[in-house]
Structure 1
Amino acid sequence: MLPYTYLLINFFTVIICFIFSFHPKIKFNRHFGAFIKASVLVGLVFILWDIWFTKNGVWWFNYRYLTGFKISELPFEEVLFFICIPFSCVFTYFCLDKFFKLDWKPNSEKIFVTLTSIIFLGVALYYQDKIYTFVTFLSASISLLILFFLLKVSWIGKASVIYLILTPGFLLVNGILTGTGLDYPIVNYNPQNFIGFRILTIPIEDFFYGYEMILWNLFFFYKFKKNHDQADLTV
């Protein structure tokens, strides 16, 4: 079973959310098209990032836990990661936003985005000699500024709270990938390329890497969903 470990992690991450997507009070299955477009578009960027880091030894994979199928430099399971994790997160956001009022006031959101962007930029510049830390925090800072001030989204605060709600799942999935409960990590990191602060076995950078990825998945999901909804109205 060891070669299927990462594959099973992806499967169990997504299966419950997938089943409940068809629930008559949720009907997330009606938006599979919008999600697939969003996840492919965002996933391509993060996969290129992943490939570059893998080629340069920032991280690498332990093939005892993988099937051995590769796409470029990446295990097939790693590519699936960029579909399965966003699916669970976007589905959770969709459900919580549907049934609960989690919106922030505009001024509170503006202050949050501004301060968070400044903090992220400060971390990036302070650790500019750590490539994973630098790229992650710099791109997260830029993403927040673009999403809020340029693209005018009004849900970053809400998405941030939901991402925190998802933290236990994040700790479970990324914990296993980075070695929690296993004899060896599935994903290994070069200690010269990140701060070295870990939650369990998870580099702190992973948390913000995932945060940025989910924000962009949400943006494009709702963009494609809106286009689809408008097309339906014109039919």
Structure 2
Amino acid sequence: MFQRNILDNMHHYLYLLINIGSVLVPFLASFYPKHPFYKNWKNYIIANTIVASCFIVWDILFTKIGVWGFNQHYLLGIDCMGIPLEEVLFFFCIPYSSVFIYFALGYLIQNNPFDKIHKWLTLSLSIILGLIAIICFDKWYTSVTFILTALFLAYNYLTKKSLSKVYLSYSVTLIFFFIVNGILTGSFIEAPVVWYNNTENLGIRLGTIPIEDVFYGFLLIASIIQIFEYLGREKIVVKKG
């Protein structure tokens, strides 16, 4: 009976375990002697905190108006500013893993296939996403996500900033994204951890994942990476000076 009660209560830890599982290996690998990511923690924490704060506010507002919500069956039951504690942790665990992948690929990949197409890709995506955002202005998740991503891409295109390394690392991140977000949106489990109001999105799913999640995730990770890189360059300039 005792063991059965433990198993019956384990589902409340699912979202927390997903967060921990997502960050555990990258965290341990951060201490690899030849390329220690932990030495960049200060810059990463600053970048992540800045961007995560904005996304958490976004998350709180969208939860409040019913764009998405959470299944208490898979949560600890601890709320933080109107959203589950696990959701707040999501904005720190997932980006850590993603930025670590970006950092590691900088040493592992010599020839980036996106180097030749990044300008065209950035311009095309910014136009396409911007148009969809305008057409679907009545759908909160689609319009807000796509217009913000389009503006981010347009800024990088106009300022001639290369996103080739970001595209490469995010392509790898997507492998894990489909696993993690797949579970959160209902793959392999009875009901989704995070549910979406389909009247506020395009209704296009990649498995169980709303297509908007792909661009939402990209905007989150790419923004953190750019601030992270900026802080790193500033440190080098100061040292040289």
The TM-score range, normalised by the shorter chain, is over 0.9
- Per the alignment, residue 54 of structure 1 pairs with 63
- Per the alignment, residue 194 of structure 2 pairs with 187
TM-score normalised by length of structure 2: 0.91
Letter in 1 for 2:96: F
Q: Say if 2:218 is the partner of 1:206.
A: no
The superposition leaves residues 4-60 of structure 1 with CA deviations (integer Å, 9 ceiling, x where unpaired) of 110000000000000000001220010011111011000011111101100000001
- Per the alignment, residue 23 of structure 1 pairs with 32
Identify which of 148, 155, 170 aligns with 1:146: 155
- Per the alignment, residue 5 of structure 2 pairs with none
Letter in 1 for 2:119: K
CA RMSD of aligned residues (A): 1.6
- Look up the SS of the partner of 2:195 in the other structure: strand
Separation in 2, partners of 1:129, 1:164: 30
- Per the alignment, residue 166 of structure 1 pairs with 173
1:168 deviation in Å?
Answer: 1.7
- Contact 2:114 / 2:167 at 8 angstroms: preserved in 1? no
Q: Which runs of 5+ in 1 are unaligned?
A: none
The structure whose RCO (Cα within 8 Å, separation 6+) is larger is: 1
Q: Give the count of matched residue pairs.
A: 231
Separation in 2, partners of 1:170, 1:90: 13
- Per the alignment, residue 131 of structure 1 pairs with 140
- Contact 1:14 / 1:84 at 8 angstroms: preserved in 2? yes
- Per the alignment, residue 81 of structure 1 pairs with 90
Separation in 2, partners of 1:145, 1:68: 40
1:231 deviation in Å?
Answer: 4.8
- Look up the SS of the partner of 2:189 in the other structure: coil
- Contact 1:133 / 1:195 at 8 angstroms: preserved in 2? yes
- Contact 1:121 / 1:141 at 8 angstroms: preserved in 2? yes
Letter in 1 for 2:85: F
Separation in 2, partners of 1:2, 1:232: 50
Q: Say if 2:226 is the partner of 1:219.
A: yes
